[in-house]
Chains A and B, each alone.
Chain A
Amino acid sequence: RICVITLAEAHPLLQSGKTIKNINYQISANCSRLQNKVSGKSKRGAQFLTELAPLCRISSSDGEEYTIYSCIRGRLIEVNENILSNPALLQEKPLTEGYIAVVLPKFEESKSVTQGLLTQKEYEEVLLKRLNSSS
């Protein structure tokens, strides 16, 4: 099951007033997500991601830096290079053309990965709770 990683609706970067200064796929001295190369049907050579593996770091013009994590286990298929040339895309269409990355979990783990995620409804409940607890 192919997975597309995007920013969540409630992510600070998607709140008004934020401008993106820079998107960096170089997450460490030895690892750049841009160098990810896959070949063949089984996507050999892909960088393997765990839940806490960073995909990229995004800095906003107000000096904040946000690390975007994979959140699921799997092979990294591609990262979205369109947002490098056009960062506004990330904020204008975060759930479609502004996606971050495409990940392919192992076939056997497919079910457990899905079960570890929230449904749209559950997510909205989390946001509601957050809103209520902060007010």
Chain B
Amino acid sequence: MSSLTEKDRPIVQLLLNTGTCPRCILRFCRVGSQTLYRRAYKNLMKDLEEFLRNNQEKEDRVCFDVADPPCKRIRLEHMEGSDDPNHNGALQQIPLINDENTAVENSSMKVCNVCLGILQEFCEADFVKKVCQKVNSADHQFSSFVFSVSLPPQMSVRERAAWLLVKQEMGNLGLSLSKDDIVQLKEAYKWIIHPQLSEELGVPADGKSLFEVSVVFAHPETDEECHFLATACPDCFKPAKNKQSVFTRMAVLKALEKIKEEDFLKHFPCPPSSPKNFCDVLGIECNNSAVFVAGRYNKYSRNLPQTPWIIDGERKLDSSVEELISEHLIAEFKADSFNFSSSGREDVDVRTLGNGRPFAIELVNPRRIHFTAEEMKGLQQTINNSSDKIQVRDLQLVTRSAICRMKEGEEEKTKTYSALIWLDKAIQKEDIAFLDDIKELKLDQKTPLRVLHRRPLAVRCRIIHTMKSEYIDRHHFRLHLKTQAGTYIKEFVHGDFGRTKPNIGSLLNRTADILELDVESVDADWPPTLDN
């Protein structure tokens, strides 16, 4: 159904009388022609009144002229209408409808009792300009946009009341109306505003766009209209700690599903009342979806934590791996913040050598999102030039799903280490040779005491796949090991009060301690190696 027909006449009359705006009227009459919604407000009003005055019997008479394409029509209307729509005052003097049943007061644009102005004032060029100003000042790089709108919950209540009203009237005429037949408010709004935004911003609207323009509307005048639902359906409204109001959109919709028609009509006026004010715009925000940068890092300092080490507001050690890497990325991408994650991590005093450890950084709300491979290489160089404590390689843009792949690596991939070990009792070369022959050594490791304050107590079974010893002197040797992910190497060496069994001490029948540890490799194949 693309236009109004004879059957719709009583509905149009009813809704107009009770304070519903032309576009909402079109919605409830199931008009699906987007062009009609885009017509200027005052023209739509005129057309509706003409429709009502018109007494044609023919059902298929199309009442609205849809000859011009929408954009052209809007521009034409801008040229014609030198009187800009005044939001709070008179649009124009709308002639009284020549019908005994009506007594509509028409000296100013009344706030629609269903859309509270969304399909009225907030479709106008002025509002579009306001939104675009915000977008342009936000400095985001984008090639398309998705426009999202947050409406106050009481609008679904009013929509329900209007639907019940129309359903009743149609029932009287022997017709039925299902909720799904009505054009959704948000959909109609997007039909009208997308082309205007698209034209001003110079880019298309795209549901999958990474750039989001979101507008939040509120209508404090009618906020309490939802409250009756709490008494009718108490189990839909659970107070959540972080939310200001219990009447969230989801909760209200849920309650509307549950409540019976009779109960609804008992508590809520049908038709809905005419409010005094239009909606307020609580905020217009611009947001780019996060971008992800991955790579591998080497750590050459024995005095650098992975994440900032701060106790009681005081920084214990200068800087951190994540800060040294992210600092430059934040600057180049102009992001609000970052989230750093890596495939496992090492202690402050442990170096990471070899190909390095895979990491990924989520850059939140980046203003710049397009970078060529060359530019990424340049970024990598900048990071590497800025510090000798860490170095990065294979720096590249990746997708969000890449993070899962990386975390898989944490659990599954093997790591190789080099440990410098001290022994209390002297050794000869022959005493440690047997270690090289031990394969797939099973360990039982209780949660190390040094992390027990922040980890649950548990026993972990881990495997040391291979070992290679290097004699240094009577009290020292170097051990290279290849282990399962999640093995605590330090505890394997000193035994952690006997809570890791077996351990180097028990294997050599001595007391052992670890002096130095290096990660020689993290055996992961992700992220893809670039020719650096």
Contact = CB atoms under 8 A, between A and B. Distances in A.
Interface of A: 1-2, 4, 38-41, 43, 77-78, 80, 82, 89, 96-97, 99, 102, 104
A99 B511 CA distance: 15
Give 10 closest A-B pairs by Cβ, nearest first: A97-B498, A2-B452, A2-B453, A2-B449, A38-B457, A40-B456, A99-B497, A41-B456, A96-B497, A82-B498
Contacts of B449: 2, 4, 102
Interface string B490-503: 00000101100000
B495 A78 contact: no
Nearest to A3: B449
Query: What bracket does the count of chain B residues touching chain A fall in?
Result: 10 to 19
B455 interface: yes
Interface string B442-464: 00001001101111110000000
A4 B456 contact: no
A133 to B, nearest CB: 34
B454, B495, B498: which has the most chain A beta carbons within 10 Å?
Answer: B498
A39 B456 contact: yes
A102 B452 contact: yes
Contacts of B456: 38-41, 43
Contact of A77 (B452, B497, B498, B511): B452
Contacts of A43: 456-457
A23 B454 CA distance: 30
Contacts of B497: 4, 80, 96-97, 99
Q: Does more than half of chain B's interface fall in helix, strand or loop, or is it mixed?
A: loop
A38 B456 CA distance: 8
Contacts of B457: 38, 43, 77-78
B446 to A, nearest CB: 8
A39 B447 CA distance: 12
B492 to A, nearest CB: 15
Nearest to A78: B457
B312 to A, nearest CB: 11
Given A38-B456, A99-B497, 17 more contacts: A2-B449, A2-B450, A2-B453, A4-B497, A38-B457, A39-B456, A40-B456, A41-B454, A41-B455, A43-B456, A77-B457, A89-B498, A96-B497, A96-B498, A97-B497, A102-B452, A104-B453
A16 to B, nearest CB: 21
Contact of A1 (B453, B498, B511): B453
A40 B457 CA distance: 7
B324 to A, nearest CB: 29
21 contacts: A2-B453, A4-B497, A38-B456, A38-B457, A39-B456, A41-B454, A41-B455, A41-B456, A43-B456, A77-B452, A78-B446, A78-B457, A80-B497, A89-B498, A96-B495, A96-B498, A97-B495, A97-B497, A102-B449, A102-B452, A104-B453
A37 to B, nearest CB: 9
Contacts of B446: 78
A78 B454 CA distance: 15
B478 to A, nearest CB: 24
Nearest to A37: B457
A27 to B, nearest CB: 21
Contacts of A77: 452, 457
A77 B446 CA distance: 12
A2 B496 CA distance: 13
Contacts of A102: 449, 452
Interface string B27-66: 0000000000000000000000000000000000000000
Contacts of B454: 41
B452 A104 contact: yes
A135 B38 CA distance: 107
Contacts of B453: 1-2, 104
Contacts of A78: 446, 457
A102 B511 CA distance: 21
A97 B505 CA distance: 11
B116 to A, nearest CB: 48
A4 B453 CA distance: 12
A128 B449 CA distance: 32
Contacts of A1: 453
Nearest to B498: A97
A36 to B, nearest CB: 10
A103 to B, nearest CB: 11
Most chain A Cβ neighbours within 10 Å, of B450, B453, B495, B511: B453
A118 B75 CA distance: 86
A96 B457 CA distance: 19
A129 B453 CA distance: 36
Contacts of B495: 96-97
Contacts of A80: 497-498
Nearest to A77: B457
A79 to B, nearest CB: 12
A78 B496 CA distance: 14
Contacts of A99: 497
Nearest to B446: A78
A73 to B, nearest CB: 15
B364 to A, nearest CB: 27
Nearest to B495: A97
B187 to A, nearest CB: 47
Contacts of B498: 80, 82, 89, 96-97
Contacts of A4: 449, 497
A97 B497 CA distance: 4
A43 to B, nearest CB: 7
A129 to B, nearest CB: 31
Nearest to B448: A2
Contacts of A39: 456
A89 to B, nearest CB: 8
A114 to B, nearest CB: 14
Most buried by A among B446, B450, B497: B497
